């Protein structure tokens, strides 16, 4: 089979992105009904995110563009589904959903940049996902205490626990780095003294 050229691959990617956009817009359109209009801001956000994603995949190959394109696209998609009542959320739930999407996009960016999961992306994305899930519980009133009151009471303890976890990770990595989920190439940019410090 003849190898597909780069311009043809870019055309295939563009066609795929357009088909995904059209399909998602039709899903939200059918759920709203043809008598009502979809919010222009959310559709424009989706299209803008898709354009940034396409540019990241075909022209600049920057991880930041890839991350931003995915995040903006998914936020536009969530806004479209929220405003068209496909998702059982209101506009006040969009900010914790954005936090959740940041964690997902960070993992996808890791795959884009390294073609595998790396610890330097994995731990922040897990933390972001946990925070987003907690924020969603507060915004949906599943946890009845207001977030500001909860943070005033329990925030200092959470900071202590987070700091202790980071110190624990540091010592675990320093003493048991063969069992820690980091790749050896993550430490390749270190100086000889730093490698000796981390046991390399």
17-69 pLDDT, tens digit per residue, is 888 888 887 777 776 654 456 678 888 888 899 999 998 888 888 888 899 99
pLDDT at 72 over 90: yes
**pTM for the model:** 0.71
Question: Hey, is 182 helix, strand or coil?
Answer: coil
Is there a contact between 46 and 76 (Cβ–Cβ < 8 Å)?
yes
Q: How much is the pLDDT for 34?
A: 47
What is the spatial distance between Cα 117 and Cα 126, in angstroms, rounded to a whole number? Answer: 12
Is there a contact between 24 and 34 (Cβ–Cβ < 8 Å)?
no
Query: Token pair 């909860």 is at which residue?
Result: 150
HSE toward the beta carbon, residue 56, CA cutoff 13 A: 20
């Amino acid at each position: 089979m003849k190898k597909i050229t780069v311009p043809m691959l870019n055309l295939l990617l563009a066609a795929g992105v357009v088909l995904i956009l059209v399909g998602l817009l039709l899903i939200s359109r059918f759920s709203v009904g043809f008598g009502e209009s979809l919010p222009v801001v959310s559709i424009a956000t989706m299209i803008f995110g898709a354009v940034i994603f396409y540019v990241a995949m075909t022209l600049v190959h920057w991880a930041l563009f890839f991350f931003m394109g995915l995040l903006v696209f998914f936020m536009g998609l969530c806004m479209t589904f929220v405003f068209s009542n496909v998702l059982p959320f209101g506009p006040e739930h969009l900010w914790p959903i954005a936090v959740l999407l940041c964690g997902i996009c960070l993992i996808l960016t890791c795959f884009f940049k390294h073609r595998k999961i790396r610890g330097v992306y994995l731990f922040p994305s897990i933390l972001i996902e946990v925070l987003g899930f907690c924020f969603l519980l507060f915004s949906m009133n599943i946890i009845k205490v207001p977030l500001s009151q909860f943070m005033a009471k329990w925030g200092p303890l959470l900071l202590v626990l987070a700091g202790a976890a980071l110190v624990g990770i540091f010592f675990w990595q320093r003493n048991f780095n063969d069992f820690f989920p980091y790749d050896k190439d993550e430490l390749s940019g270190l100086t000889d003294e730093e490698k000796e410090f981390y046991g390399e």
